[in-house]
Structures are given as structure tokens and as C-alpha cells.
Structure 1
């Protein structure tokens, strides 16, 4: 970013798909349901019904919605519902995911450049802490924040603004870093800046503001931020 641009003082990181590689979970869900598109269908249901819960005020945590979405997926594919124990095994994989290869180099560069960094995820607090510990990322972040305490999912404006308030950072001086167009749209419409990482299969939302920064990897974003 140029010297006269509004360089953010706080970076908020999404976790699933942005920092963590969901490939292991994707493979397991696809194999379980014998479909190459099962994981995408399941993850879309997970996001869709988290928004339904937010709009209707009928909160369940991400794990509960993930479990329900596995039932919905089975029904959509004309398959029997999986036993609770099998669903639990599948969902447990979300806490055992590696970081994308570019993540530690990118976080290291940003940490060395002096940026404040926190996470903000739709995953429950306990799950997020297991995820980041397993991936070896915990030490990069000042705080690990989940929407669970708000009982309101991203991209609701409250999720971003309450994080800024908690960290005593102005929204305009805060940047969300994410690999989801719905997430960057939510942050920008709440008054934050946003950096979009173009992970394979991810797109920005054409009817939302263009992300402040775009890059194919986290180091690419870091280079633009550090200048």
C-alpha cells in the first residue's frame, strides 16, 4: 500500500479456508457420500443455515449446524442419514487441518512488520483453539475470537464491529483478511478494509465493494501491506 493510503493498524483473519486447508475434510466428506461435490454442497448448507440462524435469532453453534447439514446432504443425495457417531468422526476432522503452505511465511512477515493480528471465526471457541493449536498458528495472534459469544454469524456487521470495539481499533483502520467473498463483503459494508486471498474456487461478490487488496497468497497480501 502506498505511504498515503490508510494502512490498517489491526488485521482480522478468517480461519477456515483462509488459514487452514480443508482438503482432508473435503476428501473425507466426498468419500463418505461417494460424490465429488458432496463437500461443497455440505459447506454451502453450513453457511446458508448459519445465516438463517442469524436472521431468525435461532442460534446453534457451527458444529450443530454442521451436523444438521450432514443430514440434509444425505437427504439431498437420496442416501440414509449417517449415525451420530459417524457424523461426529467427520466433524472432528475440522480440528485437525494443516495451514495452507503460504500461511506461516505470510503471518511471519506481517508479525515482523509489527501488525496487530487476531482471528475471527464462525467456529465455536473451543474448536477454533484446537484448530489453531494443531496448525501451529496460535502464537501469531494477539487474541483468538469466535462469534460464539455474540450468537451471530459473519457476515453480520455486529461480528466485525464488536471485534474492532474489543480491540479498541477504528473500523476504517482495521482490515479483514479472508478467502471468502461473502466475508470481505460483510467487513467492507461494516466500514472495514478487506484483503481477499484468491484460494482456488473462491470468488468475490460482484455487488459488493471491490476488496481493498487482492492476492493469490498471504505473502502477496503481506507485500502489499508492508510496501
Structure 2
């Protein structure tokens, strides 16, 4: 049992779910595989813009409309509704990254409380976790659908803290997205950047407390830190 029982908050899209198969789904409707990354970036951009202006729209609604616009620009107008449905269905049927199940189980076995906070739908998280056999390891599956705003707005992380009954200083966000790391850090959470691709962390965002390349690296890092409350993790700054 760790000296400190953390509430570990997981981002879901890309952090836990492997979105690489979306490229194949785009190819199947006659679109470039690379359009998958542009679509997801567009979806996030527009969701962030709505959040900045005080709105909170559903991930799926923004995603479908953004997808329709991108596909039309690619000249895919025939059977457009079916094409949009195919991509959105593929998004709902992703699998976990291979390192996730063992990492999650080790963190739960160490006594940490595990929750999620996604800009997507909680239903998709439940489906993903049930298929991957890790649902029972999580205490809460949270979505910004029920929060005042999308991440990385402070209100999203405060919603997670209130839901878990935890102070920000006792929470650790795990995410692949630097923008999520920055938002959580600004809200007072500790952070772990899951850098599977060897990317450079942007200098304009607040640095993570710890950097890992697979989720299975996190349990021994936490066990080795002897974390004191309010103390950052040693190997990330």
C-alpha cells in the first residue's frame, strides 16, 4: 500500500484507447487515412472554442458535424450519412493500447483510486473498458458531458475532484495530450505525461511532473517516490 493513496485521473481518447484503426475506417470510405488525425484535431479545436465561449456541446455532435465538413471537402458527398456513421461507429469500437490493462491493474493493486475524465461520452468509456476487462478497476467513469466545461478548462478538473471527494493536490492526471497536462497542472493536479511516440513536450505548456512511455512504468515510479502530499514527482521536471 502506498504512503499516499492517489486519485489517478485518466484521459481516455488516445491515452487509453488506440485510435490508429480509425485510419483504416477512413480508407474504407474512400478518404485518406491521414484525415483521421485532422478530424480529431478539428473536433478538439472546435470543442475548445465552444468551451472558451462558454458553451458545452457533446463530443459526438461536434465530431459528426466536423466529419461531414471534412468529407465534403474531400469530395465524398455520395452516401455521406453512411460514411459519417461508419467513422463514428469505428470511434465507439476502439480497443485499449496493449500497455493499459497491466498498468491499470498494477495501479489498482497498489491501492490507488482510479477514475476517468474524458471529453467524450462515458458510454464509450464503459464499452472500451468492458471489452478490455478493466472496468472493475475504476471507481468512476466521468465525462465532461456532466461538467461545466470541456478539459482543459479548470472547471472540468474541479468537477472530477468534487465527484471523487478529493483535493486537487491528491490527484494525478495521466494523459498523452500536453494541453490536458497543462490544464490539470493549472487546476492544481499533479500530472503524468504518457509519451508513447517520443514527441517533444511543448515549452509553452506547464511541464508534467513525470514522463512515462508506457502505462506499466507508472506503478513503480509512484512506489519509488514515497510521495509526500503537495510534493511533485521527481523525474519529470
Fold shared per TM-score above 0.5: yes
Whether the 8 Å CA contact 1:15–1:119 is kept in 2: the answer is: yes
Identify unmatched segments of 5+ residues in structure 1: none
Instruction: State the Cα deviation string for residues 133-160 of structure 1 (Å, max 9, x = none).
Output: 2332211101111110125211111111
Are 2:86 and 1:89 aligned? Answer: yes
Q: 1:8 to 1:197 in 2, by over 3 A?
A: farther
Q: Cα offset for 1:171? A: 0.5
Deviates more, 1:51-60 or 1:100-109: 51-60
What is the rounded CA distance, in whole Å, between the counterparts of 1:111 and 1:90 in structure 2?
A: 33
Instruction: State the Cα deviation string for residues 157-182 of structure 1 (Å, max 9, x = none).
Output: 11111111221111011100011111
What is the rounded CA distance, in whole Å, between the counterparts of 1:81 and 1:55 in structure 2?
A: 35
Picking from 138, 142, 148, the partner of 2:139 is 142
Picking from 150, 155, 158, the partner of 1:153 is 150
Structure 1 length-normalised TM: 0.90
What is the rounded CA distance, in whole Å, between the counterparts of 1:159 and 1:35 in structure 2?
A: 34
Instruction: State the Cα deviation string for residues 75-99 of structure 1 (Å, max 9, x = none).
Output: 4435437522321121011221111
What is the rounded CA distance, in whole Å, between the counterparts of 1:33 and 1:199 in structure 2?
A: 29
Picking from 3, 13, 26, the partner of 2:10 is 13
Q: 1:154 to 1:82 in 2, by over 3 A?
A: farther
What is the rounded CA distance, in whole Å, between the counterparts of 2:78 and 2:56 in structure 1?
A: 23
Structure 2 length-normalised TM: 0.86
| Aligned residue number for residue 109 of structure 1 | 106
Q: Secondary structure, in 3 states, of the residue corresponding to 2:18?
A: coil
Q: Secondary structure, in 3 states, of the residue corresponding to 1:17?
A: coil
| Aligned residue number for residue 35 of structure 2 | 38
| Aligned residue number for residue 74 of structure 2 | 77
Are 2:48 and 1:51 aligned? Answer: yes
What is the rounded CA distance, in whole Å, between the counterparts of 1:213 and 1:223 in structure 2?
A: 12
What is the rounded CA distance, in whole Å, between the counterparts of 2:5 and 2:185 in structure 1?
A: 13
Identify unmatched segments of 5+ residues in structure 2: 225-237
| Aligned residue number for residue 200 of structure 1 | 197
| Aligned residue number for residue 210 of structure 1 | 207
What is the rounded CA distance, in whole Å, between the counterparts of 1:33 and 1:43 in structure 2?
A: 18
Q: Cα offset for 1:219? A: 1.0
Q: 1:86 to 1:180 in 2, by over 3 A?
A: same
Provide the aligned length of Structure 1 versus Structure 2: 223
